[in-house]
Structure 1
Amino acid sequence: MYYTVDLFSGAGGITEGFCRQGQYTCVCANDCDPCARDTFTYNHPGVPYILKDVREVTGKEIKDIIKDKCNSVDVITGGPPCQGFSLAGQRLTDDPRNMLFREYIRIAKSLQPKVIFFENVYGILSMQKGNVLKAIIAEFDEIGYECQYKIINAADYGVPQARPRFVLIGVRKGYGVKITFPAPTHGPTKEGTYQVNLFQKDLLPYVTVEDAISDLPKLDQGEGEMELLHTNEPTNDYQRERRGHRTPGTLFGHKATRHSKEIQYRYSLIPQGSTNACLPPEIRTKKNNVYKLDMTQPARTVTCNFRTDLLHPTMNRGITVREAARLQSFDDDYKFFGCLTRKARWLTQDDQVGNAVPPLLAQAFADHIAKVILPQFEGKEVDS
């Protein structure tokens, strides 16, 4: 068994993926948002949770929590927000905007995990002409970690969403561990056939929006409930897998937003796979990134504004929390807590779903780390 600590855990997408893999136990999680905490602890009730600002969390505090569960941490997961980084030369300054990442480094230095799994926005690659990324790698190097990174697409790992993300894997120096990344399992198809890759096994076809959500109860705008039972049978493996194991047959968060007739009419004029930029100028609004999902393709990236940014392919409404969660590869009985509006101080359910690492993506990396990277540490002494 391998042991993880999940920093900036949010709703728990990374922990969900690592736990699904079967060889990991999360021994501690941290976030400062009580709604995210409620979501995480409901779905992972055995994991000790530190609800406080990461700047107030100490390595000793985490060690005291995990001491009865494990002797050491194998993997630290998570990725602090990286927007607004400030540099001096090639180093991150003491600017408050850098503080969350510095706290991540501080805790990693204290816990000394074998592996670091760091996920973030793909735009980190170009922040300040790439100098932010150089500084981040230098900070990891300074505390004893060799790192490699890659821009990946969640759809390549069975997530029904074209979601480009930055993933960095770090390993403790001195063990001679080679860093590699998991090979894609899915790819685009032509006329419904599997894609053939000359250097890998045949790839499965991308999971489409239709594959992901077509079995969910059909809702008109304003319909649905926060807790339902399934009324349709699954029609494919993805749908069967998403039925869940906590309370199978239960469907949380499938309640559609109510829209005015004017908005419904405007939505009806947008074809699948298009945005509201195609609308006649007289009914177009200032908001120009409203996108109607294409049933035949993976979804566009699920953001925190999916109720207004992502439209259902066949119903004239925004997608529900559950439909967004399906596109993120959460199981149907993974329950999200918190408000559905932005009037509250804390994270909404939309924020939690949109910010999450897709569990299937996390599971693919968890599997690779468990089977390829962590075994390289076994029986080795630190090189001098």
Structure 2
Amino acid sequence: MQALDLFSGPGGLSLGMKAAGIQPIASVEKNKDAVATYAAHTSTAEHFCADVRTISFNRYRGKVDVIFGGPPCQPFSTGGLRRGTADARNMFPEFIRALNEVKPAAFLAENVPGLATRDRIHYLSQLLREFELAGYNVTWQVVMAADYGVPQKRRRVIIVGMKEGEFWFPKPTHGPKSGRPYVASGTVVSKDQPFGEPPNCPVLYAKYPDPRRSPYAGHVYNGGGRPVDLDAPCHTILASAGGYKTHWIDTLDIAPGYTAHLLAGGTPREGTVPGARRLTREESALLQTFPRGMRFAGSVSSQYTQIGDAVPPLLGQVLAKALKEQMEGHSVSPETHFEPDTAAPLLAAAS
């Protein structure tokens, strides 16, 4: 099967698609570093380093089976200004335009989980209706990457549309409901042997800590970076990493004792956390399930951004495999897949 990749970033989703047998023949991304990264691992595709609004996709009608991609998520991110449809960066209309011009058999769109929060539910319901008006049977779900073998607690909204039939999401392969443990971050990241060069950015105790029962949660240290529990999936790798929002390895096991100290009413500490080192770009990429040794173009900050913006390739592969099999008419079972949760209940709730 052949595909068109929109808002492609460095190609995390495309790597998963290729592994499942869906080949991107063209990609669109306006960040030149991300385009260079993508072109290095998928040189056979046509790459457009341009604003998607300047491109006509009519040339791909009859040539593309699937359109996939992640329209910019800042309008709906809980970490941003959350302007939603009022934000000029909302590119879902362009994604739908591409569907209407190309008319592929299926599409897969991903976005931040903030799109499915209560204050965005009306827009999500409108968006699903527009996909249906474009001729697709639409299902959607908030998925967590760790449920499919990714050593990271990354959550995304996945929307899938098919001209024929309805997409069934694969059930989790890891976690409590599967019988298999989550993949721990310590399987790809070492406490004592960093892979790559950590950023020179110290981890500091917060002046006014807000601890939680877990030593790996709460606001206990300055910045958005948190200590990594090597026995569990990592926190979401952020696109804003590279500085104080970079998660860190607690090489001296300071975090458990310090959290217990705070919860017992102890006085907050000051200064630098001993033994703390930030995740490197290479380690962040591994936690995203990019291939070991994959190179990212551009400056250090650009590389961190590309890694944090991407869809984990392994998650993309799991979803793409299910999509391809169902497009080919393979049967699905309630034992291995979720029965489709269509747009109808959401539309009713939002009306």
- TM-score normalised over the length of structure 2: 0.77
Q: 2:225 aligns with which of 284, 287, 290?
A: 290
* Alignment of 1:180 onto 2:168: yes
Shift of 1:164: 1.3
Offset from partner CA, 1:341-384 (integer Å, 9 cap, x none): 3xxxxxx111100010000000000110111244279xxxxxxx
What secondary structure sits across from 2:219 in the alignment? helix
Tell me what 2:282 maps to: 322
Shift of 1:82: 4.3
Task: Say if 1:160 and 1:327, in contact at 8 Å, map to a contact too.
Answer: yes
State the aligned residue count: 295
Tell me what 1:368 maps to: 322
Shift of 1:55: 0.2
Tell me what 1:56 maps to: 54
In 2, Cα distance between the equivalents of 1:272 and 1:178? 40
Alignment of 1:59-98 (within 5 A): 59-62=57-60, 71-84=62-75, 97=88
Shift of 1:209: 1.1
Shift of 1:140: 0.9
In 2, Cα distance between the equivalents of 1:272 and 1:46? 47
Task: Say if 1:293 and 1:299, in contact at 8 Å, map to a contact too.
Answer: yes
Amino acid aligned to 2:175: G
* Alignment of 1:168 onto 2:159: yes
Alignment of 1:255-266 (within 5 A): 255-259=197-201, 263=202, 266=205
* 101 and 333 in structure 1: CA distance in 2 versus 1, 3 angstrom threshold: same
Shift of 1:136: 0.6
In 1, Cα distance between the equivalents of 2:193 and 2:174? 28
Tell me what 2:135 maps to: 144
* 77 and 265 in structure 1: CA distance in 2 versus 1, 3 angstrom threshold: closer
* Alignment of 1:306 onto 2:241: yes
Shift of 1:121: 0.4
What secondary structure sits across from 2:298 in the alignment? coil
Q: 2:292 aligns with which of 314, 322, 332?
A: 332
Task: Say if 1:14 and 1:357, in contact at 8 Å, map to a contact too.
Answer: yes
Q: Any unmatched runs of 5+ in structure 1?
A: 64-70, 86-92, 189-196, 225-253, 280-284, 342-347, 378-384
Q: 1:212 aligns with which of 174, 188, 195?
A: 188
Tell me what 2:338 maps to: none
Offset from partner CA, 1:211-235 (integer Å, 9 cap, x none): 1223x9824xxxx7xxxxxxxxxxx
* 114 and 319 in structure 1: CA distance in 2 versus 1, 3 angstrom threshold: same
- TM-score normalised over the length of structure 1: 0.70
In 2, Cα distance between the equivalents of 1:149 and 1:127? 16
* 203 and 290 in structure 1: CA distance in 2 versus 1, 3 angstrom threshold: same
Amino acid aligned to 2:186: E
Offset from partner CA, 1:17-57 (integer Å, 9 cap, x none): 11122x22111111011000000001111111011100001
In 1, Cα distance between the equivalents of 2:156 and 2:98? 23
* 84 and 213 in structure 1: CA distance in 2 versus 1, 3 angstrom threshold: closer
What secondary structure sits across from 1:81 in the alignment? coil
What secondary structure sits across from 2:276 in the alignment? coil
Shift of 1:72: 2.7
In 1, Cα distance between the equivalents of 2:114 and 2:90? 19
Amino acid aligned to 1:303: L
* 264 and 150 in structure 1: CA distance in 2 versus 1, 3 angstrom threshold: closer
